[in-house]
Amino acid sequence: MIINSVNTLFDQALTKTSLSEKQKKVLKASLLLFSKNGFDRTSTKEIAEKAQVSEGTVYKQFKTKEGILAAILKPFVKSVIPSAAAEFITALSQANYPLLEEFLTQVVQNRMEFAIENKLQLKIFAQEVLHDKNLAYTLKHEIGGELVVKMGLALKYYQKQGQLVAWAPQRIAQYIISTVMGYLVPCILLDQPLDVPEASKEAVEFLIKGLKKNSE
Amino acid sequence: MIINSVNTLFDQALTKTSLSEKQKKVLKASLLLFSKNGFDRTSTKEIAEKAQVSEGTVYKQFKTKEGILAAILKPFVKSVIPSAAAEFITALSQANYPLLEEFLTQVVQNRMEFAIENKLQLKIFAQEVLHDKNLAYTLKHEIGGELVVKMGLALKYYQKQGQLVAWAPQRIAQYIISTVMGYLVPCILLDQPLDVPEASKEAVEFLIKGLKKNSE
Amino acid sequence: MIINSVNTLFDQALTKTSLSEKQKKVLKASLLLFSKNGFDRTSTKEIAEKAQVSEGTVYKQFKTKEGILAAILKPFVKSVIPSAAAEFITALSQANYPLLEEFLTQVVQNRMEFAIENKLQLKIFAQEVLHDKNLAYTLKHEIGGELVVKMGLALKYYQKQGQLVAWAPQRIAQYIISTVMGYLVPCILLDQPLDVPEASKEAVEFLIKGLKKNSE
Amino acid sequence: MIINSVNTLFDQALTKTSLSEKQKKVLKASLLLFSKNGFDRTSTKEIAEKAQVSEGTVYKQFKTKEGILAAILKPFVKSVIPSAAAEFITALSQANYPLLEEFLTQVVQNRMEFAIENKLQLKIFAQEVLHDKNLAYTLKHEIGGELVVKMGLALKYYQKQGQLVAWAPQRIAQYIISTVMGYLVPCILLDQPLDVPEASKEAVEFLIKGLKKNSE
DNA sequence: CATGAATGAGTCTTCATTCAT
DNA sequence: CATGAATGAAGACTCATTCAT
């Protein structure tokens, strides 16, 4: 059921034959240090030490410190939209989820699992978004835009069926995302575990109440 | 109606007699630079230049660069809970808001206005929370805890009246906060304006649907 | 009689009020180290130590290591042509030197003195010319061109008087320069003193023989 | 007529059986890069890439980067004096050049051709002389000394014949060298071609005028 | 009391050199 | 024997902080 996991994603990158064992250790060390202390508060010397590697080795593959950041975030960002979008498409095309609740459960649970498993990258990404206005812009318009389009199709389906309130897809998407985030943020910030099944059950319960079409 | 505004808060700090005109300029410059580029990517030289002050002067009042950060965030943090808590108390003690919807409207709108007006501090605060696990912990347990206690009283009031679903206060608070955040985050990240009345109307509409006790 | 001396030139730069005492020490130390070991083989740390100054101070005035090089070479280069050109103009306009020999003596001696006194800069400049093709090009076309024009006037004067062989000014200039260089190069490379009066007397003796118009 | 050419010299080194094909490529690449960018501004990685060889291979034959420099300059330096000296000896012993002009023409033309064909090594050599005072010293005393001795014999021959001014051999040698250099330097610095026959004709014309014994 | 020159530890990055494969 | 990954010492440069003026 879980399509993308942090291990899946990050280990995919690490499994690439193009990266030597040491380069992988560099990425792992950087992932931990960046997410814990932030990009700017992590020195390449620290990375080298944590990775048990020389500083020179750090620069063999990743030409600059920012190159390490990119190597960590790129596979993460690249997979966020496509895999999320895939779910909405699936919901529609195969009519696997006749009930809105089933659909929301699937989406919410899946995204929560993805986020928890990519907790560290997500935190690093959040740091970057706060620093880089361009990234924030891209996130909203390019990534968000694409997602809303795909999501819109699925939502319209449930709206037509009278299961979903007739608000704009963007607004509905925002509520879904922010409700899910409400569960994720504390556990990402504090590095705490999350009972995903329980959390997604709760989240869906609230979302269904808040988003279902009021029957008269 | 608006109790706390960025100007109110920040200018309160700046109006303190203990701060000279130059120190105020330092704080203003730091606020802008920290929120735009991040704490680590802002040098004290930049601050001095933007504040049209010498580097020495920067260090006269604020012993360290972190001291400037503290001077910016302290009044912000200090006022978040008390002023928010005050509203919940008010709601109860004076029974000014007999309807949950009225109460939510008041709280949501007020907090949105507060956030928008303290946009820059909020962004800096978010950056720090991502860097500093202690801060995140404090935020959740001390600040959040105090708030939930106060909020719990108000919520219990509406629950008893059968207007509010019988979920744990913490859960309800979380949904309120995350729904409001859904509106705030894009505008804080992208430095965009927010139509607070419209946004709070929408947010309340969703929250009421999602949180009202299902009548039978 | 001596118009430009290394002290004149370099100390002019050093006397500029815009440079603090420490900055001057940086320039002096750099001049010595660059000329002795070459630009690339001189570290900013060495410069700082020799100048008895911190590395940070080195960068206060001269934003980069290349900035120090520029600060050393600019006043040198800037004065080479104008002051040399001035002599040729003087020769003509004031008819101070009716005899070619007098003129040559003046020019040769003056340029030798200039070179000896700017020995260190000259050596650094030579190193740069060997590294930087653009600099070599500029030297030949812009600087050399301007000089030949000015020189051409003076030479033509002596040619008309039948004192100077009827070769192209550029060719004559080349012989003068290369003959003078023959005396300068060993003493610049080996940091040896040069008996300028004796050397210029010899050089002029040879040049006069080689350049005088063959009678009848 | 041309005894030593760049190809002759450098290819002699390259033809040595002790050097593998790859080592030759390393030397060729180094020659080009050192002369273009300078020794210090050329990395062994660049050399390896240009030579299409691994960095390890570079170090197989030439233990250090300086070893490559030595391998380039040694054959060059080693042949400068002997082959030049040979000409002076030839001039004398075989009385092939009864006229000073013939002798000068031969010497000047030959040395110009040698220099042009060894342009790159000459430039690298010049860079090193500017960096290394010992090299400059050796050049003057060992190499120069040996040359002046050999040359002295030839010059004395022409002086006795009344064709050559009665100056010290060193002084005459200096004029010959500097006059030739006057033609070589621009073309070495700017990597331009030189019309050697024309240039040597001109140079000799000037030298003869400047060095011939004034007949009474 | 304000200034900004001075400091020097620390940063990112390069590169000659080595050595396991 | 060739390779190129790995090393780590240096290098240029930055910046928070101090202090003499």
Q: What are phi and psi of B212, to 5 degrees?
A: -75, 150
d(CA D190, CA D183): 12
Mean pLDDT of D16-24: 73
Residue B26 sits in which domain range?
A: 6-211
- Domain contains A1: no
Contact, C47 CB vs strand E, < 7 Å: no
Q: Which residue is nearest to nucleotide F10 (CA to C1')?
A: C43
Cβ–Cβ of D129/C211 closer than 8 Å?
A: no
Contact, A30 CB vs strand E, < 7 Å: no
- Domain contains B29: yes
Mean pLDDT of B108-132: 93
- Domain contains C1: no
Distance CA D62 to C1' F7 in A: 20
Question: If you measure CA to CA, which chain C residue comes closest to D185?
Answer: C178
Over the range D85-115, which residues count as b (16 or more CB within 10 Å of their CB) and which as e? Answer: bebbebbbeeeebeebbebbbbbbbbbbbbb
- Quote the minimal CA–CA distance from C185 to chain D in Å: 10
Candidate from D133, D186, D191 with C-beta closest to C190: D133
DSSP for C118-161?
Answer: THHHHHHHHHHHHH-HHHHHHIIIIIIHHHHHHHHHHHHHHHHT
d(CA D132, CA D119): 20
- Quote the minimal CA–CA distance from D159 to chain C in Å: 16
| Residue B204, SS3 per DSSP | helix
Q: Nearest nucleotide by C1' from A61 CA?
A: F5
CATH number where C173 lies: 1.10.357.10
Q: Nearest nucleotide by C1' from B57 CA?
A: E2
- Domain contains D172: yes
Residue C102: pLDDT over 70: yes
The type of residue at A61 is Q
- Domain contains A216: no
- Give residue-wise pLDDT tens across range C62-75: 999 999 999 999 88
Question: If you measure CA to CA, which chain D residue comes closest to C177?
Answer: D182
| Residue A164, SS3 per DSSP | strand
Poorest-confidence range of A125-129, B85-89, C189-193, D121-125? Answer: B85-89
Residues D207, C178: contact at Cβ < 8 Å? no
- Domain contains C216: no
- Give residue-wise pLDDT tens across range D150-175: 888 889 989 999 999 999 999 999 99
Tokens read off for D69: 């420099």
Residue A140, burial from CB neighbour count under 10 angstroms (0-12, 13-18, 19+): middle
Q: What is the CA radius of gyration of chain A?
A: 19
Q: By 3-state DSSP, what share of chain C in percent is helix, strand and coil, each rounded to 5?
A: 75, 0, 20
CA angle centred on B34, ends B31 and B39, rounded to 5°: 140
| Residue B164, SS3 per DSSP | strand
Q: Quick one: pLDDT at residue B18?
A: 67
- Domain contains A142: yes
- Domain contains D183: yes
Q: Quick one: pLDDT at residue C15?
A: 63
Question: If you measure CA to CA, which chain D residue comes closest to C123?
Answer: D130
d(CA A181, CA A201): 14
Poorest-confidence range of A75-84, B136-145, C126-135? Answer: A75-84
- Give residue-wise pLDDT tens across range C36-87: 999 999 999 999 999 999 999 999 999 999 999 999 998 888 887 777 777 7
What is the domain count for chain C?
1
Q: Nearest nucleotide by C1' from B56 CA?
A: E3
The set of strand E positions with any atom below 7 Å of a protein CB reads: 1-20
**CB count, 10 Å around CB of A70?**
14
Mean pLDDT of A110-129: 93
